[in-house]
Amino acid sequence: MNIDITDVTRRFGRTRAVAGVTMSAGPGVLGLLGPNGAGKTSLLRMLATVIPPTSGRIRLLERDPGVAAQRRAIRRRLGYVPQHLGYYPSFTVVEFVEYFALLKEVPAAQVPRAVATAVERVGLGDKARARMRTLSGGMLRRAGIAQAIVNDPELLLLDEPTAGLDPEQRVAFRGLLRDLGQTATVVVSTHLVEDVGAACAQVALMDGGRIVFHGTPQELTARGEGRTAAGDAPLERGYSTVLAEARS
Amino acid sequence: MTAATVEDRGPGRAWVAGAARLMRIELRRNAMIWMLPVAGVLFWALTYRRSMALAPLWNVRAMTMQSTTIAVFIPTVTGVAAWTGTREARRRLTDLLSVTSRSRWRRQLASWAATTAWALGCYLACVGVLYGVTATQATGSGPPWWPVLVGAASVPALAALGFTAGTVLPSRYTPPLVAMGAFLMFEAGLELVHGAGSPWQISPLVTGPYQLGDYEGLATFYPYLPDLPIAQVIFLVGLTLALLGILGLPSLAGGRWPRLVAAALTVTGVLSAATATALAGTGRLDPHGMIAIPALHNAADDRPVAYTPVCSHTAIPVCLHPAYRAYLGAVSTDLAPLLDELAGVPGAPARIAQTTTTYRWTDDGIDIATSAWTMHGTPPVYTIVLPNQAGEPALSVDQSANRVKGRIARDLVTAVVGGGSDPAQQAVTAGVLKGVRPVLGSEPPDLGRRITPNTPAAVAAQRFAALPVGTRHAWLVVHAADLKAGRITLDQLP
């Protein structure tokens, strides 16, 4: 399993953002759904080794991120797009992606090809030499995804990756997700239920720091059938039903 | 070449290739590039123009260059380095960058190195221009390199200072505050320098005894003492290591080994900087005007620098150190008639030679002594010092020459004729000086002017002055000794 976490909690002061999550995931695309404040971003940041858990055990790519040497090995094979993507305005798209490739220790000789591949995969080939400051919000998002996949990661963590993308770009992005999920474990945190339905083989629904549902999108859809929960689509009704049950 | 072949050559080469690519990006996008024109303009305004106004002496220009150029680079380099240090936080890249496998410390070192490289390049280019122009003007000894080295060691230290401050306090207000704070700190530090044994003279803005300034007498006849520059370089290298080491200490900075290396660097840097500061505190004023530090002093530096003086083609040659070649014409040309007339006369020197000054620390400050303005040896040599050698404010070549010409004339005439109130001596003095008085300015104020008009002495003086130079010279050769002894009367004058 590329992700194997047991009873993980994370506190920020008195606030418990993640409250005893146990989960495992292998290759494939896992959608992480949940309302605002559910703990999705905190869980992703722990999986990305940005922050350690307050308690519990995390193993990523068969390694312990609590050990410096193993954490470094994990990070070489990790891709991450945070919710608020930062960037250096004066860098070109290629420089931005190359910068991360080098920091992820992609062998120098492989960097040009890896960068070109990543930039092409997110559809920014024609903007490769453009400065980051000149890109639109959607393009910036795609540049962020390019830096995440430049090292051909085995574990890819995407926090709200489709925010700012237009419908055409989102469709293309879902295709990219499915492609990446062939070999890697991809965790996508999103509010957009339709993204999950279209691209994810597995879905986990978080609420109050806990995972209240873990299954396939079809199973989530089934939970809403015959119910009067809110939602325009079957998957949304499943989502609302599970949340209502968890809170009752 | 494939990736595999590169990797096969060893991880070391692959690491270097990766680091080189990272540096290329950092160099291309470094903020220091935008500050280069500012640094260049400040250098031109504060260093170059001032240096060009000074005499073309390597020691003066090099020492001025060190203090003023570093003052220019303090706010510019620390400010830009602080801006670079705050970059990750300002651009909200902290999370994204923290999950890359290369340690934060290495990433930061690359940013610092790029800033340093641009600043160092700018510094060396500025110094290159100044030294290049000075090389076309200066004569005598070659350029002193220690001031250049101190400046070059200052740049990485200033960059490390700014970068560390920016990393620790990643606010957009940090860069201007650090730039101003560093400038004020260094400038205020100069006020704390008291005496030759002050540890505060470890500041790279100090080039020698702070109360003395950049006088021309320093490091011309004797070597440029490297004692203080060595201590300053040790301090600056130590400061750089300590500051860069501090960046690698936090747990987020890297793994166990990088943090151990960072800790070792920090300790080494702190110890080096402290040792250098303590060494600066043991300094003493060297007799030749520079700071000597016993633990770093090389006795070979106490020996005078051998040189062949440059001499005028006057009958009594005026000989100066070759570094002062620019002064030779200004001093000797106007005095040529007098020198021609007195050459070979008993009591006149065979040569006029420039000598050195010595420096001694007293309760009132630095006392500058000289053996100049006297006759020495056989045949007699009359020694002089130029005003700037004696601690007077910086003067132009002509100003300096004007200050010494009158004194030379007075002393030479006094040596030959005698300086008493004897009417015959006064008449001869007035006659001899008549040809050169217009170029002597106000110096000497009274020599040969005490003769009351329409007196026998005045008439004798006019008569003597009207004689051909050759006649006067021949008479002086025969009668100068008696004249000086007071055995010649007005009636005996030709």
Residue in B with minimal Cα distance to A131: B29
Segment B460-472 shows an average pLDDT of 84
| B451, pLDDT greater than 80 | no
pLDDT of residue B2: 42
pLDDT of residue A222: 92
Quick one: pLDDT band at residue B5, thresholds 50, 70, 90? Answer: very low
Which of A50, A76, A111 comes nearest B101 by C-beta? A76
Residue in A with minimal Cα distance to B255: A68
Beta carbons of A50 and B7 less than 8 Å apart: no
What are the DSSP E strand ranges found in B185-328? 284-285, 291-292, 310-311, 318-320
| B396, pLDDT greater than 90 | no
- Which residues of B, range 251-270, sit inside 8 Å of A by Cβ? 254-256
| B255, pLDDT greater than 80 | no
Cα of A52 to nearest chain B Cα, Å: 12
Residues in chain B with CB shorter than 8 Å from the CB of A111 are 18, 21
Quick one: pLDDT band at residue B440, thresholds 50, 70, 90? Answer: low
| A209, pLDDT greater than 50 | yes
What predicted TM-score, i.e. pTM, was given to this entire model?
0.86
Domain ranges of chain B: 17-302, 310-492
Percent of chain A scoring above 90 in pLDDT:
76
Cα of B101 to nearest chain A Cα, Å: 5
Segment A130-153 shows an average pLDDT of 94
| B213, pLDDT greater than 50 | yes
Segment B225-245 shows an average pLDDT of 97
Give chain A's mean pLDDT.
92
Cα of A15 to nearest chain B Cα, Å: 20
pLDDT of residue A192: 82
pLDDT of residue B4: 43
Cα of A111 to nearest chain B Cα, Å: 9
Suggest the residue from B95, B256, B261 to mutate for an interface test with chain A (most A CBs closer than 10 A): B95
Cα of A84 to nearest chain B Cα, Å: 8
Say if residues B200 and B193 touch (Cβ distance below 8 Å).
yes
Residues in chain B with CB shorter than 8 Å from the CB of A50 are 95, 98-99
| B3, pLDDT greater than 60 | no
Residues in chain B with CB shorter than 8 Å from the CB of A68 are 254-256
Segment B46-50 shows an average pLDDT of 93
ipTM of the complex, rounded to two decimals: 0.90
Give chain B's mean pLDDT.
88
Give residue-wise pLDDT tens across range B145-183: 999 999 999 999 999 999 999 999 999 999 999 999 999
pLDDT of residue B214: 65
> From edge to edge, which strands make up the β-sheet containing A202-207?
A78-81, A155-159, A185-189, A28-33, A202-207, A210-215
| B141, pLDDT greater than 80 | no
Beta carbons of B97 and A49 less than 8 Å apart: no
Residue in B with minimal Cα distance to A44: B95
